[in-house]
């Protein structure tokens, strides 16, 4: 029997910056896509960043194109364990939770890949964060 490590092995996450409600990210390819200005989505992106004006951080994660998410508020990217990944419950429903430096999320793409995202940092019109494939 092989035991998984409690914490994720050190890996280099990929940095990316998305404009609020104007760009999306295809996690499987790493491509940043422009969102439809009317519909606010893209057929190619798994994830976009919404803007919630009434709180800080303003960023909210928005799944798209069949992607599902498991949010981990209060858990930084470096603190996510293998047990949390394997036990995650994914949902395609929008969850109005802030996405900031002390929160992470798992995103399962329509292709079945699972990515960990976190280490978010807001600017006036965008959010920079990191992501890495974990499954």
The answer to whether 115 and 131 have CB atoms below 8 angstroms apart is: yes
What share of the chain in percent tops pLDDT 70? 87
Residues 104-131 have pLDDT tens digits of 999 999 999 999 999 999 999 999 999 9
Which pLDDT belongs to residue 77?
Answer: 92
Q: Is the pLDDT of residue 2 over 50?
A: no
What is each CA distance from 123 to 57, 88, 100, 102, in whole angstroms?
Answer: 10, 29, 11, 16
99, 61 in Cβ contact below 8 A?
Answer: yes
CA-based torsion, 29, 30, 31, 35: positive or negative: positive
Q: Return the pLDDT at 135.
A: 84
Per-residue pLDDT tens digits for 73-111: 999 999 999 999 999 999 988 888 999 999 999 999 999
Q: Which residue has the tokens 């910056």?
A: 17
Domain boundaries, the chain: 16-133
Alpha helices (runs of H) in the chain, residue ranges in sequence order: 82-86
Q: Give pLDDT, residue 4.
A: 43
pLDDT exceeds cutoff 60 at 7: no
How many Å from the N-terminal Cα to the C-terminal Cα in the chain? 19
At residue 12, the pLDDT reads 87
Q: Mean pLDDT, to the nearest integer, of 30-56?
A: 83
């Amino acid at each position: 029997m092989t035991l998984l490590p409690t914490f994720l092995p050190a890996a280099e996450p990929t940095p990316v910056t998305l404009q609020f409600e104007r760009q999306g990210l295809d996690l499987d390819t790493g491509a940043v896509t422009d969102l439809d200005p009317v519909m606010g989505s893209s057929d190619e992106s798994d994830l976009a960043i919404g803007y919630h004006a009434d709180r800080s951080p303003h960023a909210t994660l928005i799944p798209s194109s069949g992607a599902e998410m498991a949010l981990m508020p209060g858990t930084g990217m470096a603190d996510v364990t293998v047990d949390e990944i394997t036990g995650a419950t994914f949902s395609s429903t929008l969850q109005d939770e802030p996405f900031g430096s002390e929160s992470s999320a798992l995103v399962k793409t329509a292709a079945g890949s699972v990515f960990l995202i976190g280490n978010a940092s807001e600017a006036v019109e965008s959010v920079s964060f990191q992501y890495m494939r974990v499954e």
